[in-house]
Structure 1
Amino acid sequence: MRPDPLRACFHALALLLVLLLPDAGHAQVPLQPLLQEHRAAIAAPSRGTAGAMVAALLSSGHPEAAEFLRRWQDRGVAERRADGVFLYSDDAGGLTEIDGGRTVTGLTSRDVAPIRPNAGVRAVVAAALVPFALSDPDPERRRAALDAIARSPDAGQITPLMASLDGEADAGLRARKARLLTLLTAQFGPDRGDRLAAIESLAGDTAIEARAVLNQIAARVPGAAAALPAGANIARVLEVGEDLTETEAHDRLVAARLAPPRPTAKDLRDALSAHIEGGSVGGIPLHRLDTQAMRLRAYEVLEAAGRVPPRSGPAEVTQAVAAHVFFEAYSEPDPDITAAAEQALSATTRKIALFQGADLILDGLSLASIFFLAAIGLAITFGVMGVINMAHGEFIMMGAYTGYVVQLFIPDYTVSLIVALPLAFAVTFGAGVAMERLVIRHLYTRPLETLLATFGISIALQQLAKNIFGTQARPLTAPDWLSGALTFNDIVGISSIRVAIFVLALIFLALLLYILKRTRLGLEVRAVTQNPGMAASMGINPDRINMLTFGLGSGIAGIAGVAIGLYAQVTSEMGANYIVQSFMTVVVGGVGNVWGTLAGASMIGFLQKGIEWFNPSNTLAAQTYMILFIILFIQFRPKGIVALKGRAAGD
C-alpha cells in the first residue's frame, strides 16, 4: 500500500516542530511550585540541607533549575514575606518574577527577605553546577567550573567533562579540559585500560597536579597482622630492627588493638596508688616498691587478679612483635595500577632531578653574575694599583642610593633606570677619582696604611649615608617588565631582575675586554700593570693611569649598586655585604684579570649554591664552608685561577 503524500508531509512538519521546540513542554511548567516544595531549605540554607535540595532541583530536569541555583548561590534570590514566593533580585534592589521575568514593583525592604547562603552552602551548589557550567556559553563560567574540578576532583565529573570536550571552541579551555580528563581518568576512571593509559601518559610530568594524582594512587597505609592479608596489594614487608624498631612495631600493634599497651611510669604509679591496702599493694609492702622491677611485679599481681587493665611487659612486647608481620599496603587494590603509578613516579623523579640540576645552574649563574659585577671594579683597581680598597662596598652603596634619588624625580621606572645607570657611574667615578687624588696617591707602596685609610673612609661614607637617607631601607623599584620571572616549568625558573643582571654582567665583560684589548687606554693600563717603570720610560704617565683606573673601578661598582639595589635592600650597610665576596672573587680568580674575575665569580657562585642545596635552611653555614674551601684553595694556588704577571702578582 502506497503512503499518502499529504499525510507524509504532515508527519514531517510535525517532526520538524518537535525538533525546533524540544523544551516547549518544560517552558510551560513554572518553577515556583517546585521551589515551594523545598521552601525551608532555600529560605534558611545550611550545609546539611542544601545537598538534598540541590539534588532534587537538578534531578527534576527543569530547564531553569540550574539558573535558579546559580542566582541563589550568588545571593541574587529574595523571599516575599507575605506568601513565601521567591523572586530574583539584583544589586540595585530590583525584583523580578522567577517565572516569566516580569518586574515586581511596590515592594520595600520590609516586604522581602534577601537570602544569604554561607560559603559552605555556596561550595555545595558550585560543585553540583559543575556539569552544567562546563557547557555554559560564558567562558568565564566554564573556566570557573574547571577550577572547581581541579580543587575537588570526583569520579562523577568524568562523564560531563568528556561530554563537554568536543563542543569546546576555546583552544585554551579545551586543552585544560583534556588535561583534567586525563587526571580524573588516572585516579577514578571506571575502565582499567583507560586508567593504565592515563597513568602512563603522566610519566615524567613534573606538574604539581600530576604528581599529586600519582602520589594518591601510590599512597600506602601501614598495617600489622598475624599474617599477610590475602588479596591485599602489599607494597613492602617491614623488618623489625631494620625498617622499624621493636618499640615502633609494638606501637603499631597497640594502635591496631592487637596488643595491650606498655605500662608507663605514670600508669604504674597511678594504678599502684589506687590499690594500696594495709600498707601494701598486691601483697608487696610499700617499702619494697622502690625499684621498677618490684613495681612491675606488683602490677602483674593486680593484673592477674583482674583489678587493673592488662599491660605488656618487655617479654610480652617481644613476644607480640614476633607473632605479627608488619607491612605497607597500597590504598589502591589493583597491583597493575599501583605498579604503573610507581613507574610513572620514578620517571617523574628522574626528570625532576634533571630540572633541579638545571635550576641550580641558573641560580649559580645568577649569583656568579652578581659577584662579577661587584668585584670587577675591585679586580681592576687591585690588579693595576695594588691597592686594597676597603671602601669598594660603599661605592656599590652610593650607586644604589643614586638610583633611589633618580626615582624620586623620575617616576617612570624604566626611564629612571636608564638615567640612573650612567649617572651612578659618573657619581662613583668622580668619588673614586677624588679618593685617589686626595688619599690613595699619598699611600702607594704602603699597603697597611692604605687598608686602614680606606677602612676609615668606608665607615665615614656609611655614616654620611645614614645622616642623609636615615637608617631605614629605601626602595629601588624595578620596572614592570622586570617584576616577573622567567618560568620554564614548576621547578625551573628565575626572576627577571636576575636575568637582567646576568645580561648586564655579559655586557660589562664584553665592554671591559674591548677597552683593555682594543683601546689606547687599555694598552696603557696593561703596560702599567706589567711594568710601570718601563711604561713610564715609553711616555705613559702611571699616575694618570692609576687615577683613571681607580675611577673606572669605582664607576663600575656604582653601576653594580644600581643592579643589586633592584632586588636587595638599599641601606647604608649594603656594601659591607658584598665586600668580602668581592675580595674572595678577586683573590680566587686572580688579581687584575677580567677572565680571572669571571672564573672566581663563577667558582664562588656555584660553590655557594651547591653548598646551600645540601643545607638550604642555613645559608650562614654555606658561606662558612665556602670560606674554608677558598682558604684551602689558596694554599695550593696562591695566585688564583688565572694568574697575572706583573706588579699585582708580586713579580
Structure 2
Amino acid sequence: MRHILATIILAVCLGQSAAAQDLQPILQTHAAEIADPSRGSVAAPLDAMIASGLPQVPTFLERWTDKGVWQRDADGVFFYGAASGNDLTLTDIDTGEETTVPKAGHTELRPNGGVRRVIGTALVQFQLTDPDIARRLSAIDSLARRPDAEQLAPLLGSIEGEPDPALKARKIQLANFLSASFAPDPADRIAAIDSLAQDTTIEARAVLNQILTTRSEVATTAPTGNVARILTVGDGLTKAEAYDRLIAADLAPPAIPAPAIRDALAANIVDGRVGDVPLAQLGNAAARERAYATLAAAGTVPPRLTDQGQADAIAAHTFAEVYVEDDPAITDAARAALTSVETRVAAERFADLALDALSLASIYFLAAIGLAITFGVMGVINMAHGEFIMMGAYTGYVIQQVVPDYTLSLIVALPVAFAVTFAAGVTMERLVIRHLYHRPLETLLATFGISIALQQLAKNIFGTQARPLTSPGWLDGALVLSDVVQISYIRIAIFVLALLFLGLILFILKRTRLGLEVRAVTQNPGMAASMGIDPDRINMLTFGLGSGIAGIAGVAIGLYAKVTSEMGADYIVQSFMTVVVGGVGNVWGTLAGATLIGFLQKGIEFLNPSNTLAAQTYMVLFIILFIQFRPKGIVAQNGRAAAD
C-alpha cells in the first residue's frame, strides 16, 4: 500500500484535473484484477485509479466495497447494478445512464473481506477531503477504528483545509495518535507522544499502552534489546510461572504429572517388580519414587524433575520483559507521557467521585429538609415523611398525564405537589400528630401505620409497577468534561434545586413573620404564647411546610429515580440520618449532614464497588460511632430541640 499512498500524494501535488476523462478504460486495463482481486493484486488497479485523479473514483470504490459493481460477461464492461428478481438495473460508471436488462449474462463482483479492507483504506484517503462533512466524519471514524501507517500523510494533508473547527481538532488529535505510532522520524514520534501527556482520553491511553507493549524473553545470558524490566522469582514472577516460561522456550523439560508416573510404573512391571521394588511395596510414596528413579536411570522412562533441579534451571536463566518497540527514547517518552496521563486520570476520577457525592448529597438534602423542619423543629418522629415524597412524585406523574409538555408540566407540578402534600401534612397534623406531642413512641407507631396505609393507597390507585416521570428534553444527556468526568443534567438540576431550597428555607426562617414565630416557638413555646403567638397554629403550619417541601423533593427525585409506592422507604432512613448527624432543627446542619453522608456513601462504594449493601452497612456503622462521640450532630441546636 505504500506505493498507493505515494501515488495519491503525487496526484495531489501535480493538481491533475481529469473531470472530462472516463474511468471505464482504466478499469478495462485492469479488468482481470478487478473481477477477481486479491490483497496482492488489487494494488495495481487502485494505483491506476488514484493516479488518474478522476472524480468517479471515490464512487466506484464505494460501490465496489458494497458489492454494487457488475461486469457484463460478453465484453467485460463494468457497471453499477441493482438486481430485482430476474432483472438488473445497470448504471453507466461515467455517464450515469441507466438501463434495465436481464440479470443473466452479468456477474456481480464480490471482493472478500481482506480486499474490501484494502479498498476501504484507499477510499478513506479520498473521503478525508470530501465536500460532504458526513463523509469526512465517516473517514475519521474509519481511521480511528483501523489506524494504519499509510493513512498518516493523507490525514496530515487534510488538516489545513478542514473548514469545520470540531472536525479539524479531531483530525489533529487523530494525527497525533498516528504520528506517535507510525511517524517515520523518531523525533516526530517523540513530539507526538509528548503531546499525548495532556490527553486523558481512552484512545490516547490505548496508543501509549500499545507503544509500551512488551514480550517475555528468557535466556541464559543478559537479555538484549529494549529491556522493560528484569523479572526475578518473588518479584513479579512466581516459581511456577518462571518454569513454565522455560518449558515454553524449550529450555527445560516439562514436569511429569503423578498420573503419568503411575502409568509408567504400571507399564514396567516385570516378574512382580518395578525396577528393584516389589509390587507389594508400591503403596508407599517413597517406594514409588525409588522405583521410578530406577527406571529413569535405566533410560526406560524420562527422568523426573526434582525441586532442586527446577530451582537450578530457573537460577541458570534470566527472565525479562522486552519492549516490542526497539527505540529506548520512544518508550521512555511513552512511559513518561503515560505516567502523566494516569496522574491526570486519577485526579479526574477523584473529581468525578466528588461530583457524584455532591449530587447524592443534594438528593439527600432535598429528601431531608422537610424532615428537618418537622422532626428538628417540632420534635415529631414522622415515619410517613417518605410517603410525602412519594405523593409529590405521583403528583408530578399525574400532571404529566394532563399536561403533555414536559417542561410546562414540571413547572406546574412543583407548586401543585407542594399544595397537595402541604394539605396532607396539615390534615395529618390536625387529626393525629397534635394529640401525640411529647409522646415520641406513640407518634412513631402512628406515623408508621400511616405510611403503610399511604403506600397501600398508592398501590390501589397507581398499581405496583413503576410509573415514568419524564424529564424535559433539555435535561437529557450529561455534561461531559472529559472521558472520565461527566454528570447528568438531571443531577445538575437537582443540585441547583437544592441550593434554591436552601436559600428559600433560610429566607422563610430568617426574613418572614412565619419564620420568626417558628423560631420563637422552637426556643421557648411558653414565652412565645405569652407574646400572642399561637403555638398550636405554628405547629400546624410548620408540619404542613415540611410536608410540602417533601412533596417538591418528590418531584425532583422522581425525575432521577423510579416512582413507585415504596420509593419513600428508600429515602426515609437516609433522611433521618441526615437530620440527626447534621444537628436536629438546623438547616445548615441538615446541609452538613447530607454532605457528610453523600460523600461517605460514595467513598465507601468506591472502596467496595461490588457490594452496595455492604457499603450502606458500613455507612450506618460509621454514623452510629459518630453519634456516640457527637450526639448533638455537626451543628448543635439550641432551644427546645436541644433540650429534648
Same fold (TM over 0.5): yes
Equivalent of 1:584 in 567, 570, 577 = 577
Aligned residue identity for 1:210:
A
2: CA distance between counterparts of 1:319 and 1:273?
30
From 551, 575, 587, give the equivalent of 1:558.
551
Aligned letter for 2:403? I
Please list, as runs of the form range in 1=range in 2, the aligned pairs for 1:182-331 lying within 5 A after superposition: 182-230=176-224, 232-331=225-324
Q: Structure 1 pair 346/39, CA: closer, same or farther in 2 (3 Å)? A: closer
Question: Which aligned pairs between 1:441-590 and structure 2 lie closer than 5 A?
Answer: 441-590=434-583
| Aligned position for 2:594 | 601
- Displacement of 1:311 in angstroms is 4.5
- Match for 1:76 among 63, 68, 91? 68
Equivalent position SS for 2:380 = coil
- Give RMSD over aligned pairs: 2.4
- Is 2:135 aligned against 1:141? yes
Alignment partner of 1:96 is 2:91: yes
> Is it true that 1:37 corresponds to 2:32 in the alignment?
yes
Q: 1:149 to 1:28 in 2, by over 3 A?
A: closer
Show the 5 A alignment for 1:406-417: 406-417=399-410
C-alpha distance after superposition, 1:289-335 (max 9, x if no partner): 33444434443444444444455221211111111122222121111
Paired letter, 2:183:
G
Counterpart code for 2:45 = L
Asked if structure 2 preserves the Cα contact closer than 8 Å seen for 1:31 and 1:65, the reply is no
Return the letter of the residue paired with 2:70.
Answer: A
Distance (Å, rounded) in 2 between the aligned partners of 1:118 and 1:554: 69
**Structure 2 residue aligned with 1:4:** none
1:16 maps to: none
Aligned length: 624
The 3 A distance-change label for structure 1 pair 153 and 309 is farther
- The separation in 2 between residues aligned to 1:80 and 1:205, in whole angstroms, is 53
Q: Which amino acid aligns with 1:220?
A: T
1:388 lines up with 2:377 in the alignment: no
Aligned partner of 1:154 in structure 2 is: 148
Given that 1:78 and 1:86 are in contact with CA atoms closer than 8 Å, whether structure 2 keeps it comes out as: yes
- 1:51 aligned counterpart, secondary structure: coil
Q: Deviations over 1:125-146 (max 9, x none)?
A: 3223222222333322222111
Cα displacement (A) at 1:407:
1.5
CA distance in 2, matches of 1:504, 1:119: 55
Q: 1:429 to 1:224 in 2, by over 3 A?
A: same
Q: Select which of 392, 417, 430 maps to 2:423.
A: 430
Point out the more displaced range, 89-98 or 193-202. 89-98
Task: Show CA shifts across 1:599-651 (max 9, x none).
Answer: 10011111111111212222222211111111111111101111111222226
- Structure 1 residues 21 and 122, CA gap change in structure 2 (3 angstroms): closer
Name the SS for the 1:583 alignment partner. helix
* Aligned residue in 2 for 1:163: 157
Shift of 1:120: 6.3
Structure 2 length-normalised TM: 0.91
Q: Which moved more, 1:245-254 or 1:208-217?
A: 245-254
Alignment of 1:117-136 (within 5 A): 122-136=116-130
SS at match of 2:39: helix
**Residue type at the aligned position of 1:179:** Q
Q: How far apart are residue 35 of structure 1 and its match?
A: 5.0
Q: 2:46 aligns with which of 50, 58, 62?
A: 58
**What is the Cα deviation at residue 584 of structure 1?**
0.4
Question: Corresponding residue for 2:621?
Answer: 628
**In 2 relative to 1, CA 150–21 (structure 1 residues): closer, same or farther, beyond 3 Å?**
closer
CA distance in structure 2 between the partners assigned to 1:393 and 1:24 by the alignment: 74
Q: CA deviation at 1:50?
A: 4.2
Structure 1: runs of 5 or more not aligned: 1-18, 42-48
Name stretches of at least 5 consecutive residues in structure 2 with no aligned partner.
Answer: 1-13
- When residues 634 and 21 of structure 1 are mapped into structure 2, their CA distance, relative to the original with a 3 A threshold, is closer
User: Are the aligned partners of 2:217 and 2:320 in contact in 1 as well (CA < 8 Å)?
Assistant: yes
Quote the offset at 1:172 in angstroms: 2.8
**CA distance in 1 between partners of 2:16 and 2:114 (Å):** 38
Percent identity between matched residues is: 66
**Contact 2:383–2:448 (8 Å) recurs in 1:** yes
Contact kept? 2:27, 2:45, Cα under 8 Å = no
